[in-house]
Amino acid sequence: MNSYKQEFIKFMVRSNVLTFGDFTAKSGRKTPYFVNTGNYKTGEQIAKLGEFYANCIKENLGDEYDVLFGPAYKGIPLVVTTAGALYNQFKINKNYCFNRKEDKDHGEGGSIVGHKFKDGENVVIIEDVITAGTAIRECLPILKGAADVNVKGLIISVDRMEKGQGDKSAVQEIHENYGIQTFPIVTVKEIIETLYNTPIDGKVYIDDITKQRMEEYLAKYGV
């Protein structure tokens, strides 16, 4: 496993973004762990977060794309920090944009802020986590409505490796339905592997009991 992946898992724990306990997911599933990217709140955290996304893009897509797109609302700070980190770390200078939830009817109008799409451009979508893939289904018509673009990939922070609407995972469904490949910074299995009986700042987050609960959850809902 790449070292930036292990660093990212520790970073999520320290940022109180990755937590363990008893939670109910949006899907109604009772889950022993939760990823809440809304808990990033400092300048240092958002700058570091962009670096992890930039590493994932560089590793999986190089610089073979034209535009980074962040779906409103959580994708907006993500796409901005990722574009900055790609330039600062790798001198990869790419266009970026995001959408408004409501069309603007004055000034330049439209729902896309930042780069204006052109036909044939390759786009990378920057998201936080996907559970059922709803956000992707919503943003594809926005992209295609702006220009005839190609979606080269979807970057997410964590792949929970769970069933989506059927027996396949949300990641598999997105690939099957739209031909889009998803690249997570880390998967839940990498989280278990990294944190199991390994203390972070003196505390063990995944002990035998938590590991068993996570594995049972994956056996029930995982793919």
Residue 111, pLDDT above cutoff 50? yes
Indicate the pTM of the whole model.
Answer: 0.92
Per-residue pLDDT band at 132 (split at 50, 70, 90): low
Residue with tokens 């799409």: 117
Q: State how far the Cα of 170 lies from the Cα of 182, in Å rounded to an integer.
A: 10
- 97 Rama class: left (phi>0) / alpha (psi -120 to 50) / beta: beta
Active site residue 115: no
Work out how many domains the chain is built from and give that number.
1
CATH assignment at residue 62:
3.40.50.2020
- The active-site residue out of 26, 91, 101, 106 is 106
DSSP-based three-state secondary structure for 19: strand
Peptide bond into 73 cis (omega under 30): yes
Residue numbers of the domain that contains 113: 3-221
Active site residue 48: no
- Give tens-digit pLDDT for 82-101: 999 999 999 999 999 999 87
- The active-site residue out of 104, 118, 144, 220 is 104
Q: What is the mean pLDDT of residues 49-76?
A: 95
Work out the number of other CB atoms within 10 angstroms of the CB of residue 77. 18
Distances (CA, A) of 188 to 5, 87, 102, 121: 11, 29, 34, 32
Residue 61, pLDDT above cutoff 90? yes
